[in-house]
Chains A and B, each alone.
Chain A
Amino acid sequence: MPAARLYRDPDHRLVAGVASGIAGHLGLRPLVVRIAFIALLPFSGLGPLLYALYWAVLPIGPTDPRAPRPRRDRRQLFPLLALGLGVLLVQQLIGVGGGADAALAWLIAVIAVGAGIIWHLADPGRRRRWSAAMPQAPWLAPMVDERDRRGFLLRLVGGGACVIVGVIGILVVFGPSSGAGFTVLLGGLLYALIALAGVALVLAPLLWRMFGQLRAERVGRIREQERAEIAAMVHDQVLHTLALIQRKAGDAKEVVRLARGQERSLRNWLYKPTAAPTDKFSAAVEEIVAEVEDTYAIVVESVVVGDIDVTEKVAALVAAAREALVNAARHGKVASVSLYAEVESSSISVYVRDRGVGFEMASVGPDRHGVRGSIVRRMERHGGNAEIRSEPGAGTEVRLSMPTPEGKERDHERGQA
């Protein structure tokens, strides 16, 4: 004979299968056990109390999955309920039990039922679902799981019962008939806590849902804002540039200028500039590159390695580099110019190179203010150095270098596009 363990029997249940489980275990008819539970009702509600305890403690029995699940015959419930009502009436008539003891018994029964509900809900499948729903706090999930309608109903009933019991308890404890004292205070506190727990239980899903909605709304708003920003940018810049390009399709130089300018502004928009031209060397170089590209409709291939804060000397270097770019754009007769700038620990170098027509250095007259004044003298004035190499037909390269202040060499930052 297999070990006769006590189970709840969901296949033959009326309420929760406690009675039929016990009946199966004892070899009695379920009806006998049910009547026994009802008969225990007058003794401070011992019957329901026991029933609730059994419900809470007993595991669900093994059911045969192949067997068809018998229909739950609810009609049986009515005579039993009637019987219970009758018993209670008789109790009232003859005055057995009741009073404060009965209230306490009911309270315990209610708590037991609540515990039983939670116990009952916690079968493995559900627990798994809860952990999936709220991985950070699975124990909270049954409180906020909204997909489970039965859970929601139980929660509502359980929470409501807690509220009612708590309120009644507070009234009783602080009522005129009761005396003062520590136990009274403790009791009041306990009931208040129960009431609070009830409110929390009832409101938890609502709060949780509101919280979730709020979060979803915020994400949606941010997304919408980003979309609007992109739409505005595309409309204001890209579409206009494309329209201009179509109108000036015959002018190759102008088309390149427009395309290049748009490309630069899109890049700036995508990879937001990290510093202001007045603060950082790399940003200042990018600024003069943009200006020259825009003004002279050429392409400047610029590469900047390293970065440094802008000082007076650095600004002078950048201004000289700008002059070199302008010279290349104006006199080089080329479509593109290369600019390479590197910040090293001891010096900053800038190379501006074009593959244009070039010139004889000797032929540059003293009137050519650009090269002599803006580049060479400017660099010398600030302690730097400028060297210009040019060959007719092979292009020009301007090499600028400026020593860095020694102290800055340690913490210079590398500039990244």
Chain B
Amino acid sequence: MNEDRPERPQLRVFLVDDHAMFRAGVRAELGAYVDVVGEASSVGQAVTAIGATVPDVVLLDVHMPDGGGRAVLTAVRKAHPEVKFLALSVSDAAEDVIGLIRAGARGYVTKTIAPEDLVDAIRRVADGDAVFSPRLAGFVLDAFAARTDAPVADPELDQLTNREREVLRLLARGYAYKEIAKELYISIKTVETHVSNVLRKLQMSNRYELSRWAADRRLV
């Protein structure tokens, strides 16, 4: 996609989080690498401000009053499908993570992520790739676990290929994309493609486990 990464203008990033301290911290950390164009502490504020600024990437808190990150995602994505979302949370609960991904976020990282990793994740999401934390990779493996009793309606969407499974396992083991590429003798681009495919399956598949998570979060 974008091979001219270093030369292009700074990414425009928007922060949505109800903790002012956390916003200030992230703003300070990211300031040198990206252009933080705005921040919001509530769902309503976020929807209006994102609509007005149209940033490249929105860093979205999962847990907020009045609906949380999901409410922002649903409200903004209709009008601005070009805005990418990266979920950021302290929660490790599977249904939170899966719920936000299924609502359209392109990645999920925990709030303890190191600043340079966060910048990397933002760039990756801006490029249209997916960002999986080790834990999210684990959840996905769990959800797509090959089980004989799970009916498979659509093999294309409901199952991971062996290669995708391998990539996810390495992600869960804490490997960076570069290390995964080296380990599997494939290019980083190919790793990115695999992860994006997994993201698509995660969003589109109606597998029982995913539907259950979705139902828990009242997504369906």
Contact = CB atoms under 8 A, between A and B. Distances in A.
B169 A340 contact: yes
B134, B137, B142, B173 interface centre (most CB from chain A within 10 Å): B173
Contacts of A303: 134-135, 137-138, 172
Contacts of B137: 303
Chain A contact surface mostly: strand
A417 B145 contact: no
A271 interface: yes
Given A267-B92, A351-B173, A338 B142 contact: no
A417 B94 contact: yes
Contact of B138 (A271, A305, A345): A305
B219 interface: no
Contact of B172 (A267, A299, A340, A416): A340
Interface in B135-156: 135, 137-138, 141-142, 145-146, 148
Interface string B167-186: 00100111100000000000
B134, B138, B146, B169 interface centre (most CB from chain A within 10 Å): B138
A306 interface: yes
A304 B138 contact: yes
Given A303-B137, A340-B172, A342-B169, A416 B92 contact: no
A383 to B, nearest CB: 22
A415 B112 CA distance: 23
B141 A342 contact: yes
B174 A301 contact: yes
A34 interface: no
A353 interface: yes
Contact of A305 (B92, B142, B174): B142
A305 B94 contact: no
B93 interface: yes
A306 B145 CA distance: 8
Contact of A340 (B93, B94, B138, B145): B138
A305 B93 contact: no
A372 interface: no
B174 A353 contact: yes
Q: How large is the interface on B (under 10, 10 to 19, 20 to 34, 35 or more residues)?
A: 10 to 19
Nearest to A349: B169
B19 to A, nearest CB: 15
A391 to B, nearest CB: 11
A221 interface: no
A414 interface: yes
Contact of B93 (A338, A414, A417): A417
Nearest to A271: B93
A340 B142 contact: no
Interface in A381-417: 397, 410, 414-417
B42 to A, nearest CB: 23
Interface string A336-366: 0010101001000001010000000000000
Contacts of A267: 92
A267, A301, A304, A306 interface centre (most CB from chain B within 10 Å): A301
Contacts of B174: 301, 338, 340, 353
A5 to B, nearest CB: 54
Interface string B81-95: 000000000001110
A398 to B, nearest CB: 11
A271, A351, A417 interface centre (most CB from chain B within 10 Å): A417
B134 A340 contact: yes
14 contacts: A271-B93, A301-B135, A303-B134, A303-B137, A304-B138, A305-B138, A306-B142, A338-B174, A340-B169, A351-B173, A353-B175, A416-B142, A417-B92, A417-B93
Interface of A: 267, 271, 299, 301, 303-306, 338, 340, 342, 345, 351, 353, 397, 410, 414-417
3 pairs of A and B residues whose beta carbons are closest in the complex: A338-B174, A303-B138, A340-B173
